[in-house]
A = this chain, B = another copy of it.
Amino acid sequence: MRKIVVALGGNALGNTPTEQRDKVKHAAKAIVDLVNEGNEVIIAHGNGPQVGMINSAFAESHLVDTNNPEMPFPESGAMSQGYIGYHLQNAILTELKEQNLNKNVATIITQVEVDKNDPAFKKPSKPIGNFVNLETAKTLEKEKQYIMVEDANRGYRRVVPSPRPVGIVEIDIIKTLVEANHLVITVGGGGIPVVKQGNHFKGVPAVIDKDFASAKLADLLDSDLLIILTAVSKVKINFGKPNEKDLDNLTISEIDNYIANNEFSAGSMLPKVQACKMFLQGNKNRVALIASLEEAKEALLGKTGTRITGGNE
């Protein structure tokens, strides 16, 4: 039996409740297939479109009537964990029953600790929320101390820091459930980012990359395998060039070389391969897989996906 952390992309979950209710079925199938082959599975997921939708709904409601509160980012993230987690656990339970597996599944609202001295706090880089015009951007910078950046002719967007995860506050809860053979959905959207202040964990407006949070989770659970499910079948090099190439295998030292050659784009493949590297470095027997949601089962059987090893290098 292998212990596997599966990280699902938020983009694969759709933009409305109706879409999400439909799309989680594919994710549930992929996950329960892994369970049915005797694996212990822990589920992590992104929340980019969903947390944006929640944050924007409150912002718009506040514009209509200032008595309606705006929703800060940590609280919007907590809502997204409930919203996505409910649909995922509901669909996974149905699929477990369809496959005659007598198991339980639940979502844990999860806080992920970040370091208040993380350099990311000095250099916010993660765009969130709606595009606004220059005038609104200036008002937000002045009134709310938001940092706004222009994005390729589409207008201005708020950017927040994307610090690295250093710990998972609810890890003991997660371990208890995994040891009892339950399925757990956790670190949704990378987790609610919190910093330690004495006895208190304070929520901060930031976004933890879900791939790094998943790698931290897989590391703390000492998983055998981290599977990052995305929209593409394999990691590519020379992307978009005549010599574009799919990679079946990848090692940590190759990752370093490819990163030095700017092979991976910052917003998509770079954090995934970096997260895999972080996970692999914890134990030489670990394996990471990057594959498409539809081909998760085949990737696990070695038929597709990019298999990453080399923690022993």
A interface residues with partner B (beta carbon < 8 Å): 15-18, 53-54, 56-58, 60-61, 63-65, 68-69, 71-72, 74-75, 78-83, 85-87, 89-90, 93-94, 97-98, 104-111, 169-170, 172-173, 176-177, 180, 182, 192, 194, 199-201, 203
* A56–B60 CB distance below 8 A: no
Among the listed B68, B80, B105, B110, which residue makes an inter-chain contact with A56, where contact means beta carbons less than 8 Å apart? B68
Q: Chain B contacts of A111 at CB under 8 A? A: 86, 89-90
Nearest chain B residue, comparing its CB with the CB of A194: B90
Q: List 22 A-B contacts (CB under 8 A).
A: A15-B69, A54-B79, A57-B61, A57-B71, A60-B64, A78-B82, A78-B83, A78-B86, A79-B83, A81-B82, A82-B109, A86-B109, A86-B192, A86-B203, A89-B170, A93-B169, A98-B199, A106-B170, A106-B173, A172-B182, A176-B177, A176-B180
* A60–B69 CB distance below 8 A: no
Among the listed B74, B104, B109, B172, which residue makes an inter-chain contact with A109, where contact means beta carbons less than 8 Å apart? B109
- Expressed in whole angstroms, the Cα–Cα distance for A169 and B177 within the complex equals 16
- Expressed in whole angstroms, the Cα–Cα distance for A141 and B192 within the complex equals 39
What DSSP secondary structure best describes chain A's contact surface? helix
- Expressed in whole angstroms, the Cα–Cα distance for A173 and B180 within the complex equals 9
Copies in the complex: 2
Q: Chain B contacts of A65 at CB under 8 A? A: 60
- Expressed in whole angstroms, the Cα–Cα distance for A32 and B63 within the complex equals 39
Q: Chain B contacts of A199 at CB under 8 A? A: 94, 97-98
* B104–A106 CB distance below 8 A: no
Within the complex, the shortest CB–CB distance from A233 to chain B, in Å, comes to: 30
Nearest chain B residue, comparing its CB with the CB of A89: B109
Within the complex, the shortest CB–CB distance from A265 to chain B, in Å, comes to: 28
Q: Answer whether A18 and B69 are a contact pair too, CB < 8 Å, given A57-B58, A60-B61.
A: yes
**For the complex of A and B, 8 pairs with smallest distance between CB atoms:** A82-B82, A78-B86, A97-B199, A57-B61, A107-B109, A16-B69, A79-B79, A60-B61
